């Protein structure tokens, strides 16, 4: 027996509320939708961290963007990739990072007990806070970390033009 049963105003209110909720189709709909969402989001669709198909986040490189007066530095984590597997583009005032991590398995006759490493195609578009000079960009890849230095373009000089009465 619940302690709320000892208080008549609580017992009557909750019973009355339960009766109203039982007759309310909107409450039924809300309850059904909550149950449906709970079921959908509780599934991992084969993407749990301990399955061969890695979690979605494993394919999105993590980045840091730092801006100074003269340049923008983008640092991205791309562990396990080779330098030649990484492609960089500057498009629509964004740095696009692409790469592919291949999986080569040559062990024959052995079964895999657990496979947690990710393989596949990665892409990330990083919006840049200012316009950059793509021709002077510099990229270094070391120990799974990509560092891209992008010099800023100098802002165009504004010129005031006076309008003369004609």
Over residues 57-77, the pLDDT tens digits come to 446 788 999 999 999 999 999
Query: What are the residue ranges of CATH 2.60.40.790 in the chain?
Result: 56-104+116-151
Higher pLDDT, 36 or 112: 36
pLDDT for position 20: 62
Cα–Cα nearest to 64, from 154, 151, 152, 149: 149
Q: What's the angle, vertex CA 10, arms to CA 9 and CA 13, rounded to 5?
A: 80
Q: Does position 6 have pLDDT exceeding 90, yes or no?
A: no
Cα–Cα nearest to 98, from 90, 86, 80, 81: 86
Helix (H) or strand (E) holding 22: helix 8-23
Cα–Cα nearest to 143, from 81, 66, 57: 81
Higher pLDDT, 107 or 46: 107
The hierarchical CATH code for the domain 56-104+116-151 is: 2.60.40.790
């Amino acid at each position: 027996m619940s302690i709320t049963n000892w208080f008549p105003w609580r017992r009557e209110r909750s019973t009355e509320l339960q009766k109203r909720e039982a007759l309310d189709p909107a409450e039924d709909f809300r309850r059904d939708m909550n149950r449906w969402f709970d079921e959908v989001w509780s599934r991992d669709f084969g993407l749990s961290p301990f399955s061969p198909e890695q979690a979605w986040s494993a394919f999105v490189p993590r980045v840091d963007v730092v801006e100074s007066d003269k340049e923008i530095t983008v640092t991205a984590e791309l562990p396990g990739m080779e330098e030649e597997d990484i492609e960089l583009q500057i498009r629509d005032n964004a740095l696009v990072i692409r790469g592919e991590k291949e999986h080569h398995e040559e062990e024959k006759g052995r079964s895999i007990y657990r496979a947690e490493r990710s393989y596949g195609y990665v892409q990330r578009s990083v919006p840049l806070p200012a316009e950059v000079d793509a021709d002077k960009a510099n990229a270094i890849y070391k120990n799974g970390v990509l560092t891209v230095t992008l010099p800023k373009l100098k802002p165009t000089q504004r010129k005031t033009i006076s309008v003369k009465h004609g």
